[in-house]
Amino acid sequence: MRTDYDTAVLGGGFFGCMTALEVRRRGGRVVLLEQGDDLLGRASYHNQARVHHGYHYPRSLRTALRSRVNFPRFVEQFGFCIERGFDAYYAVARQFSKVTARQFRNFFEHIGAPIERAPAAVRRLFNGDLIEDVFRVTEYAFDAVRLREGLRRQLRDANVEVRLRTDACRVRAYAGGRLLLTIQTPEGTAELLAGEVFNCTYAQTNRLLAGSGLPLVPLQHELTEMALVRVPEPLLHLGVTVMCGPFFSVMPFPARGLHSLSHVRYTPHAAWRAGGVSPLMKKNPGADAPCSPRRSHYTWMVRDAARYLPLLKDCRYEDSLWEIKTVLPVSATDDGRPILFRRDHGLTNLHCVLGAKIDNIFDLMDELNGAPRQGRRSA
């Protein structure tokens, strides 16, 4: 039997949940389909949990400005899951950095992001032979578990129907301008009708398109490892990022009470583009494969990071989070993170959505509501 909805949203990550809530405000019957056992179980959890304020993007003015605008909006709306109990510092390396310390400070003073030189006691934690300068900034982390609980309540209160363990395999045009989705559930194959469909499946965006014989979206994928560690006590209430190039970040990870450690060189394990053959699954070149753990790069991460911040040698490794990071190819040139929002992709009323940062959500909400761009960029 076919169930008829006004809107179907595919993907129960942060962007899928927020899209479902937004379209529900317009009225109509909305269903949210999630392949996994729970909401926010993949990329929305397997990341560094950073609420960006722009400091990560000194080479992308547009992305830095959008983060600067969206940061207070995110903190206000999602205050229930924000972790503020640490001090955030950005350090600029003397060699191989793509910006100097002076350029870094001038850039963020120019866009109005809070920045000041770190206290001497903090600067002494770093290797002065390798670090040019260190700056204190305003940046927070989010607890993905609390975020999931909050969104689950909001979806329930908004009467959005949530179907877990439901995989959308195919979409095609149907009578009356509606779309027919073929779905796979634990009970078997079924179909549902929707007036419009939002494909918010992140790394699996092209899986539905390939299965439906539709054009793929140009995307770049990486299999990534985020190490989770216990840091020594002097670093317990610090978040540190060394910029800007082949460097690293160590940030509080509130959902586990640990710190995450990522390294630009060692966090990626494999890379491929949409339409190419994934190194994780050879059978379907149009699909974005589920990730599978590989041998950890943690030892290499921490050895290199400890050259810049010597106390990191005393970290204790606990675990690794594995995920497929997905960005637009244009992001490779300047580290920018524009959202992807493609209306009517291959079929009328089929829309593809991808956001690479959690604060991008407000750019998506503005796109959905037709707000003026004001420096926003979508693809």
pLDDT value, residue 296: 95
Tell me what the mean pLDDT of segment 323-332 comes to. Answer: 81
The answer to whether residues 241 and 305 touch, using CB atoms and an 8 Å cutoff, is: no
Structure tokens at 315: 């970290």
pLDDT value, residue 275: 60
Tell whether the model's pLDDT for residue 60 goes beyond 80.
yes
Tens digits of residue pLDDT in 12-47: 999 999 999 999 999 999 999 999 999 999 999 999
Helices 361-369/14-25 angle, 10° precision:
30
Tell whether the model's pLDDT for residue 257 goes beyond 50.
yes
**Residue 339 confidence class, pLDDT cut points 50, 70, 90:** confident
Q: Cα(145)–Cα(254) distance, rounded to whole angstroms? A: 9
Q: Cα(108)–Cα(18) distance, rounded to whole angstroms? A: 29
Q: Cα(60)–Cα(66) distance, rounded to whole angstroms? A: 10
pLDDT value, residue 291: 55
Average pLDDT over the chain reads 91
Tell me what the mean pLDDT of segment 276-299 comes to. Answer: 58
Q: Cα(49)–Cα(51) distance, rounded to whole angstroms? A: 7
pLDDT value, residue 285: 39
Tell whether the model's pLDDT for residue 292 goes beyond 70.
no
pLDDT value, residue 335: 57
Tell whether the model's pLDDT for residue 156 goes beyond 90.
yes
Residues near 344 by beta carbon (within 8 Å), at least 6 away in sequence: 350, 351
**Residue 336 confidence class, pLDDT cut points 50, 70, 90:** low
Helices 61-77/361-369 angle, 10° precision:
90
The answer to whether residues 113 and 68 touch, using CB atoms and an 8 Å cutoff, is: yes
Q: Cα(225)–Cα(261) distance, rounded to whole angstroms? A: 9
Q: 300: part of which helix (H) or strand (E)?
A: helix 298-308
> Could you say which DSSP state residue 219 is in?
-
Percent share of the chain, pLDDT over 70: 90
Which of the pair, 44 or 356, is modelled with greater confidence? 44
pLDDT value, residue 356: 77
The answer to whether residues 39 and 165 touch, using CB atoms and an 8 Å cutoff, is: no
Helices 14-25/144-157 angle, 10° precision:
20
pLDDT value, residue 329: 82
Among positive and negative, which fits the CA dihedral 2, 3, 9, 10?
negative
Tell whether the model's pLDDT for residue 51 goes beyond 80.
yes
Tell whether the model's pLDDT for residue 115 goes beyond 50.
yes
Tell whether the model's pLDDT for residue 307 goes beyond 60.
yes
Phi, psi (degrees; rounded to nearest 5) at 9: -110, 125
Tell whether the model's pLDDT for residue 375 goes beyond 70.
no
Tell me what the mean pLDDT of segment 117-137 comes to. Answer: 98
Tens digits of residue pLDDT in 78-109: 999 999 999 999 999 999 999 999 999 999 99
Nearest to 305 by CA among 144, 79, 103, 93: 93
pLDDT value, residue 367: 86
Percent share of the chain, pLDDT over 90: 79
Tell me what the mean pLDDT of segment 224-253 comes to. Answer: 96
Q: 72: part of which helix (H) or strand (E)?
A: helix 61-77
Tell me what the mean pLDDT of segment 283-293 comes to. Answer: 47
Nearest to 144 by CA among 68, 226, 70: 226
> Could you say which DSSP state residue 339 is in?
B
